[in-house]
A and B are shown apart, each in its own frame.
Chain A
Amino acid sequence: MAKQYKIIGKSTPKIDAKERATGKAVYGHDIEMQGMLHGMILRTKYPCATIISIDTSAAKELDGVMCVITADDVDVNQIGYKRDHPILKSNTVNCNRDEIAAVAATTKEIAKKALSLIKVEYKVKQGVYDPFEALKEESPKINIFCQEKFGNKNIGESFHYEHGNLDEQKKRSKVIISKRYETSRVTHCCMATSNITASYSKLDGSLTLWASTQVPFLYQRDMAHALKMEPSKIRVIQPTIGGGFGSKLDMLPFEPICALLSIKTGKPVQILYDREEEFVASPTRQPMIIDLTTGADEKGKFTFREVKITMDNGAYTSWGSTTPFVMMQTYSSLYQVPACSFDAEAIYTNNPFAGSFRGYGNPQATFSVETNIDLMAKELGMAKDEIRLLNANYKGEITGQGLNFRTCGAIPALEKVLEESKYKTRKREQQNSRYKKGIGLASMLHVGGGAKIYRSDGCGTRLKFDHYGFLTITTGSNEIGQGSETILAMIAAEELGVPMEKIKVINTDTDIKPWDVGVHASRTTFVAGNSLLGAIRLIKEKLNKQAAKLLCIESVDFDYQNATMVCGDKEIKIDKVVREMHFGLPNELCEVEYFYEPPSSFQDKEFKGDVSGNYAFASQAIEVEVDTLTGKVKVLNVYVSQDVGRVLNPMSLQGQIEGGLATGIGFALTEEMIYTNGVLVNPSFHGYKLLTSMDMPNVHFYPIETHDEAGPYGSKGAGEAPLIPTAAAIANAVADAIGIEIYSLPLTAEKVLKAIKRNEINSHGI
């Protein structure tokens, strides 16, 4: 039985919830500064064109316009993961987001008017919008800034991974299945649109940015590179962030543009996207075409997986191009697979570039793997649950890719959803009615203890006790609404016996906080939690020593409760110990700092290595009802079981599960950015359908606690997992309901109805 705690494991409201629920929290949109100007960006009219001329003279003459910039006015570096992206475009435009000019004006209205006065002459070109077209020899080179060579001029990034003997395993296979899977382009839809406020001081050349980034230190570095500035001259302050979900990993052109407008004018400048601009010009999930071939022997044991992924990179390269890092783990290690060969290529097109999005490629990979397993079961005549249980991974396994599953809740999670959904015993409905019910299974594997993809995957913490017993936690990690501040306060309250009301978390300012990679890879609780625990150990050592001295006792073994340190029958208030430390001789601060680096390792050139501190596993069983008259799929019940290591804050964990599911269901059924020749035709919530309260199914959540010793209190990262298997489970449920597999997302009513009709025609021979 694991140790019981006073605060850890209990539902605890977010410490910042009051501010947010009363409208007092200051988001980027709410910032106003003395003399602040409003910036706006002129984007291209055509996704693919040569720019003949740009005339900004009329805009510059407009009253209230303080600055107009084009590429000719700025001395900057290219940005992006591959540094293949000019901030402002001068000769050619490559996608419908492309920034041509920007203005700063005294009001938004004037800025808008100024944009309309900028005259751009284009020579429109035929763009390339299909990645397979882009790979053809005769296709033009789309990104002329790309320095790397991958054998084909339009490949932006490429990955190859393999383990085992593929040929041998193919020979052993009784059944081999090949399918092509396609996933759509979806976007984050943060409720707060993208925003930035920049303030440059001509006095000392410092630049302060109020930026909604998830990765402030990487952002600082990227910004410095873009602007050719000293990084330390750039101070990044995060206002309250209205949703992240991975969208704020890449620095986008509007951010250095805003900085440039401030540098040019010497005044604060703010850029806020409206919703249409958000749809057009903020990141998306990478659309993929996945060719997957899998094999199994006569007993149903998997033999091999061979996968070729074609990603639409869009015109420039973002973090989104690195999603294969994560995807290959799903192919190589979600189940036991003796041989695996994985290839992925990010292909330049004239579509908008993608970015990172909660799940980081894994929802796409899992969709292909888990729908493929259902086909395999069908072919082998096996039950869909049995084939999964037979091949599932287990504790102690070191996979072909080198992932070490020191704990593994894969089988327990699957068994739990099978049991709770009554998978085996549920009665199949009469399937001749208009409404057909079905149930689908899917599992997933994701990093749970960070992901070592930079030189460090660490996080720093500083702790300070004041004279009145209040604790300040200064952490490198960030709050983006997910509740990380609260978890940290809970940990400190648990360990130091300080009430939550006496704990402050400081985490928004790069000038103050210690280094951290940022919010991504479900890492914050794991990395920042461990870092905090390390700092707590150090501050306890200090306090214990001082308290023992004050109490004239030998022992330095104290219990911390009710703001008091207790040793046997002796006790002393923490604040008193702190004052004595500060005022007594030798004077000393009650402050410590600690840097935590996870025990994970950097993968080698073959992508092998134990990349995360631990691994999260989950299974979902999803019940749907398909209206065969309209094709509409309704999700009725979702059974989720997830290996979270240990539950720290049940309420916030449940919130992550439900929120992730909603995004996963949207990805499965309704969400799709629709483009015609590179132009987005549905840039609004009218045309891009998010789920509403009415669409949410009943959610049944069962955490699995595997107590992984690497995580704080045995916990694992949990934020991304809930949406990863959802689309796969829904697709399997729809196939179960109507007897037709659909291999592309989303499963819109139109697509499902077409499949039903086509099937009727085929089976009736009409």
Chain B
Amino acid sequence: MNNFVEINFTINGAKMTKEIKPSLLLVDFIRDVLKLKGTKSGCMEGECGACTVIVDETAINSCMYLAININGKTVRTIEGLGTDEKPLDIVQEKMIEHGAVQCGFCTSGVVLTTKVFSEKCKSEGKVPTRDEVKKSLEGHLCRCTGYVKIIDAAHAVYEK
């Protein structure tokens, strides 16, 4: 009985091939198989956004997404954001600088959503308004900050 399927994907810049069960959720694949523990599981029903990762150019809730669907795609998790030369991405820098991190459990997801949103804005050549930034974050629940500092930080990404 071999009900495993092979998937090929790129994660945080590295090409990989894995055999997985078709029913495996992406969040479990990332945390339990790939051992990338920076992706958090908060509700397993797509409400809290803690498990957000980037698949190709879209931020998705990895608890609502089957791992087989990353076949042929590129995945970025929080671990893939910095580089050797610059360990912190600008989004992370702004989150830290603006006090957007308290307990930090929602932070990975918030950072990745903001990353994708800022890339999208950049490619469209626009600077979002504060309200647009606020709206971009509505899929994330945070119990510590009251969101204000998160919005401040996400908005500051566009500062010159």
Could you list which residues of chain A lie within 8 angstroms of chain B, going by C-beta atoms? 11, 13-14, 16-27, 29-30, 32, 188-193, 240-245, 274-275, 480-483, 651-652, 654-655, 657-663, 684-686, 690-694, 696, 699
Q: Which A residues touch B135, using CB under 8 A?
A: 693-694
Give every chain A residue within 8 A of B48 (Cβ-Cβ): 191, 275, 685
The answer on a CB contact under 8 Å between A242 and B88 is: no
Chain A CB within 8 A of B66 CB: no
Residue of A nearest to B28 (CB): A108
* Cα distance, A699 to B141, chains bound together (Å): 18
Proximity string of chain B (96-107) to chain A, C-beta cutoff 8 Å, 1 when within and 0 when not: 111101111111
Are B101 and A14 interface neighbours, CB within 8 A?
yes
Which residues in A have their C-beta under 8 angstroms from that of B142? 191
- Measured between beta carbons, the chain A residues less than 8 angstroms from B35 are 32
For residue B44, CB closer than 8 A to chain A, the reply is yes
Contacts A22-B82, A191-B48 given; indicate if A654 touches B143 (C-beta within 8 A): no
Residues A483 and B103 in contact in the complex (CB < 8 Å), given A26-B37, A655-B149, A659-B143: no
Q: List 29 A-B contacts (CB under 8 A).
A: A13-B97, A14-B96, A14-B99, A14-B102, A17-B95, A20-B103, A21-B107, A29-B40, A190-B103, A191-B103, A191-B106, A240-B103, A242-B103, A243-B143, A245-B143, A481-B103, A481-B104, A481-B144, A651-B98, A655-B102, A655-B145, A659-B144, A660-B146, A663-B143, A684-B47, A685-B47, A691-B147, A693-B138, A696-B151
Cβ-based interface call for B70 (8 A): no
Within 8 A of A (CB), among B101-149: 101-108, 111, 134-135, 137-149
CB atoms of B39 and A23 under 8 A apart: yes
Given A189-B143, A655-B144, answer yes or no on A22-B88 (Cβ-Cβ < 8 Å): yes
Residues of chain A contacted by B140 (CB below 8 angstroms): 692-693
**Contacts beyond the supplied A18-B96, A21-B96, A22-B79: 9 A-B pairs with Cβ under 8 Å:** A191-B50, A242-B105, A243-B105, A481-B144, A651-B99, A652-B99, A655-B145, A662-B147, A696-B134
Residues of B within 8 A of A658 (CB): 145-149
Instruction: Pick the 9 closest A-B CB pairs, nearest first.
Output: A23-B38, A20-B104, A481-B103, A658-B146, A242-B105, A662-B146, A23-B78, A685-B47, A191-B105
Choose among A14, A23, A657 the residue with the greatest number of B CB atoms under 10 Å from its CB: A23
Instruction: Find out whether the CB atom of B107 lies under 8 angstroms from the CB atom of A20.
Output: yes
* B33 touches A (CB below 8 Å): no
Q: Is the CB of A241 within 8 A of B103?
A: yes
A692 and B38 contact, CB distance less than 8 A: no
* Chain A residue with Cβ nearest B99: A651
B residues near A659, Cβ cutoff 8 Å: 102, 143-146
A270 to B101, CA, bound (A): 27
Please tell me which one of the listed residues A25, A655, A691 contacts residue B104 in the complex, with CB atoms under 8 A apart. A25
Question: Are B134 and A693 touching (Cβ within 8 A)?
Answer: yes
A241 CA to B38 CA in the complex, in Å? 14
Residues 16-45 of B, flagged 1 when their CB comes within 8 A of A and 0 if not, give: 000000000000000000011111111111
Q: CA A470 – CA B99 in complex, angstroms?
A: 25
Find out whether the CB atom of B96 lies under 8 angstroms from the CB atom of A654.
no
Whether A684 contacts B96 in the complex (CB less than 8 A), given A18-B88, A21-B88, comes out as no
Task: Show the binding face of B for A, using Cβ within 8 Å.
Answer: 35-45, 47-48, 50, 77-79, 81-82, 87-88, 92, 95-99, 101-108, 111, 134-135, 137-151
B42–A192 touching, CB < 8 Å: yes
Q: How far is the CB of B153 from chain A (nearest CB, A)?
A: 10
A694 & B77 in contact (Cβ 8 Å cutoff): no
Kindly list chain A residues whose C-beta atoms are within 8 Å of the C-beta of B143.
Answer: 188-191, 243, 245, 659, 662-663, 690
Taking the nearest CB of chain B, how far is it from the CB of A97, in angstroms? 19
Q: Which of B38, B134, B141, B147 has the most CB of A within 10 A?
A: B147
Among A21, A189, A245, A480, max chain B CB count under 10 A is at: A21
Pick the residue among A22, A660, A685 that contacts B141 (CB under 8 A): A685
Chain A residue with Cβ nearest B153: A21
In angstroms, how far is the closest chain B Cβ from the Cβ of A668?
A: 14
State whether A654 touches B149 (Cβ < 8 A). Answer: yes
Residues of B within 8 A of A661 (CB): 146
| Residues B146 and A699 in contact, CB atoms below 8 Å apart | yes
Q: A699 to B92, alpha carbons, bound, how many Å?
A: 24
Question: Using Cβ atoms and an 8 Å threshold, which residues of chain A touch B134?
Answer: 693-694, 696
- In the complex the two chains form, is B103's CB within 8 Å of A480's CB? yes
Tell me the smallest distance from the CB of B100 to a CB of chain A, in Å: 8
Closest Cβ–Cβ distance, residue B129 to chain A (whole Å):
14
- Tell me the complex Cα distance, A685–B145, Å: 18
A693 to B78 CA separation, bound complex (whole angstroms) = 21
Contact (Cβ within 8 A) A29 B103: no
Q: If A241-B103, A243-B103, A275-B42 touch, does A21 touch B95 (CB 8 Å cutoff)?
A: yes
* A620, chain B: closest CB distance, angstroms: 14
Q: In the assembled complex, which residues on chain A have CB atoms less than 8 Å from the CB atom of B149? A: 651, 654-655, 658
CA distance A480 to B105 in the complex (A): 11
Contact A240 B104 (CB under 8 A): yes
Please give me the residue from chain B that is nearest to A243 by CB atom.
B103
Q: How far is the CB of B81 from chain A (nearest CB, A)?
A: 7
Measured in the bound complex, the distance between the Cα atoms of B38 and A242 in whole Å is: 13
Q: Which residues on the A side are within 8 Å of B41 (C-beta)?
A: 29
| Whole-angstrom CA separation of A19 from B88 in the bound complex | 10
A692 and B36 alpha carbons, distance in the complex (Å): 27
Across the interface, which residues of B come within 8 angstroms of A696, CB to CB? 134, 146-148, 151
Residues of chain A within 8 A (CB-CB) of B139 are: 692
| Contacting pair B144 A22 (CB below 8 A) | no
- Determine whether the beta carbon of B47 is less than 8 Å from that of A481: no
Please determine whether B40 and A17 come into contact, CB atoms closer than 8 angstroms.
Answer: no
Given contacts A22-B38, A22-B78, contact A27 B96 (CB under 8 A): no
Instruction: Contacts A26-B37, A191-B106, A662-B146 given; indicate if A685 touches B99 (C-beta within 8 A).
Output: no
From A23, A192, A275, contact of B79 by CB (8 A): A23
**A655: chain B residues within 8 A (beta carbon):** 99, 102, 144-146, 149
> Smallest CB-CB separation from B149: which chain A residue?
A655
Instruction: List, in ascending order, chain A residues with CB within 8 A of B103's CB.
Output: 20, 190-192, 240-244, 480-481
Question: Which of B43, B107, B150 is in CB contact (< 8 Å) with A275?
Answer: B43
